Chain A
Amino acid sequence: DSGVTQTPKHLITATGQRVTLRCSPRSGDLSVYWYQQSLDQGLQFLIQYYNGEERAKGNILERFSAQQFPDLHSELNLSSLELGDSALYFCASSPGGEKLFFGSGTQLSVL
Chain B
Amino acid sequence: GESVGLHLPTLSVQEGDNSIINCAYSNSASDYFIWYKQESGKGPQFIIDIRSNMDKRQGQRVTVLLNKTVKHLSLQIAATQPGDSAVYFCADVATVNAGNMLTFGGGTRLMVKP
- Listed in ascending order, the chain A residues whose CB lies under 8 Å from chain B are 2, 4, 31, 33, 35, 41-45, 48, 50, 55-56, 58, 90, 92, 94, 97-105
CB < 8 Å neighbour of B100 from A4, A41, A48, A104: A48
Q: How far is the CA of A29 from the CA of B102 in the complex (A)?
A: 17
Interface size of B by CB at 8 A reads 24
Interface of B is mostly: strand
B44 x A55 contact (CB < 8 A): no
Alpha-carbon distance A103/B98, docked complex (angstroms): 24
Q: What secondary structure prevails in chain A residues at the interface with B? A: strand
A72 to B14, CA, bound (A): 44
15 more A-B residue pairs beyond the given contacts A35-B104, A45-B101, with a C-beta to C-beta distance below 8 A: A4-B43, A31-B100, A42-B106, A43-B89, A55-B97, A56-B96, A90-B43, A98-B32, A100-B34, A102-B43, A102-B45, A103-B43, A104-B43, A105-B42, A105-B43
